[in-house]
C-alpha cells in the first residue's frame, strides 16, 4: 500500500515539475529572442543588445517565478478551503455525504449492496472519508509541501536557461546581423530538443513533440519579433 502511494505521488510531482519547466522554458526561448531580434535593426552593437537581453531575462524570470508561486499558493489555499468544507459536511450532513459516495461508486459499476459496505467503513473513518471525497468527488490532490517555492524556482530557472539560448549568439558574435541569423538557428534547434525531451517525459513520440514545439515556438517567436521590429 505504501509503495502505491509513493508511485502516485511521484507521478503527481513529476507532472507539476514538467509543467513548470515547459512554462518557463517556452517563454524563455521566445521573449528574449524577440527582444534581441527586434533591437538588431536599430542597434548595431551587440553588447547593448546583450545588456537589454540580460535585463529582460532577469525581469522576466522574476515575474514568471512570482506568477508560478502565486498560482501554486492559490491551489494550496483552494485545497485547504475545500478540505475544511468536506470535514464540516461529513459531521453536519453525513447521510448526504454517504449518498454522494454511493453515487460515485455507481459510476464505477458497483451495485448498491457492494457500495454500502464501503460507505459504512468510510463512515467509521472520518479522515479517510474526507480524503476520499477530496479525490473522487472534487478531483483534488493534496499539494506537495513547499510546492509554491519549488514552482517559482523551477519556472524562473527554466526561463533563465531558455533566455540565454537565443542571447548566446549575441554574446559570442560582434556583428548584430550575423548574431541574429545564428540566434534564429540555435533557438529553433533548442525548441526541437526541448520539444523532444518534453515528449519523451510525457510518453509521446519524440519527433512529434519536437516538430510541434518547434512550429508553435517558432510561430510565437516570429510574431513577437514582428511586433518588436515594427515598434523599434
Q: Is residue 163 part of a domain?
A: yes
Higher pLDDT, 84 or 141: 84
Q: How confident is the model at residue 156 (pLDDT cuts 50, 70, 90)?
A: very high
In a domain, 93, yes or no: yes
Question: What pLDDT band is residue 158 in, cutting at 50, 70 and 90?
Answer: very high
Q: Which three-class secondary structure state does DSSP give residue 142? A: coil
Does 110 reside within a domain? yes
Given a contact cutoff of 8 angstroms between Cβ atoms, the answer to whether 22 and 209 are in contact is no
| Beta carbons of 157 and 22 less than 8 angstroms apart | no
Cell numbers at 48, concatenated: 547593448
Instruction: Evaluate whether residue 34 is within a structural domain.
Output: yes
* Lowest mean pLDDT segment, chosen from 4-13, 29-38, 166-175: 4-13
How far is the C-alpha of 106 from the C-alpha of 59, rounded, in Å?
52
Owner of C-alpha cell 550575423: 178
Asked whether residue 75 is domain-assigned, the answer is yes
Percentage of the chain modeled with pLDDT above 90: 12
Whether pLDDT at 175 is above 90: no
Residue located via cell numbers 461508486: 105
SS3 of residue 109 by DSSP:
coil
pLDDT digits (tens, 9 = 90+) for 46-65: 888 889 889 999 999 999 99
Instruction: Read off the pLDDT band of 10 (50, 70, 90).
Output: very low
| Band (228; pLDDT cuts 50, 70, 90) | low
Residue 107 CA to its chain's centroid (Å): 31
* pLDDT value, residue 2: 45
Domain count, the chain: 1
Confidence band of 8 (pLDDT split at 50, 70, 90): very low
- Domain of residue 90 covers 25-231
| Per-residue confidence (pLDDT) for residue 58, from 0 to 100 | 93
Contact call for residues 167 and 154 (beta carbons, < 8 A)? no
Q: Give domain status of residue 8, yes or no.
A: no
Amino acid at each position: 500500500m505504501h509503495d502505491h502511494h509513493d508511485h502516485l505521488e511521484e507521478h503527481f510531482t513529476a507532472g507539476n515539475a514538467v509543467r513548470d519547466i515547459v512554462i518557463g522554458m517556452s517563454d524563455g526561448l521566445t521573449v528574449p529572442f524577440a527582444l534581441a531580434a527586434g533591437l538588431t535593426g536599430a542597434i548595431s552593437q551587440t553588447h547593448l543588445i546583450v545588456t537589454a537581453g540580460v535585463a529582460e531575462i532577469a525581469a522576466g524570470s522574476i515575474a514568471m517565478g512570482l506568477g508560478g508561486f502565486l498560482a501554486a499558493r492559490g491551489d494550496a489555499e483552494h485545497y485547504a478551503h475545500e478540505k475544511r468544507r468536506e470535514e464540516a459536511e461529513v459531521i453536519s450532513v453525513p447521510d448526504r455525504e454517504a449518498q454522494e459516495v454511493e453515487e460515485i461508486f455507481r459510476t464505477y459499476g458497483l451495485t448498491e449492496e457492494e457500495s454500502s459496505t464501503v460507505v459504512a467503513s468510510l463512515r467509521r473513518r472520518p479522515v479517510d472519508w474526507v480524503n476520499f471525497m477530496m479525490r473522487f468527488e472534487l478531483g483534488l490532490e493534496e499539494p506537495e509541501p513547499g510546492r509554491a517555492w519549488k514552482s517559482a524556482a523551477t519556472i524562473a530557472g527554466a526561463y533563465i536557461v531558455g533566455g540565454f539560448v537565443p542571447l548566446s549568439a549575441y554574446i559570442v558574435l560582434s556583428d548584430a546581423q550575423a548574431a541574429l541569423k545564428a540566434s534564429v538557428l540555435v533557438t529553433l534547434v533548442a525548441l526541437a530538443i526541448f520539444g523532444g525531451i518534453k515528449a519523451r517525459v510525457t510518453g509521446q513520440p519524440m519527433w512529434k513533440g519536437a516538430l510541434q514545439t518547434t512550429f508553435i515556438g517558432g510561430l510565437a517567436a516570429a510574431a513577437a519579433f514582428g511586433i518588436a521590429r515594427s515598434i523599434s
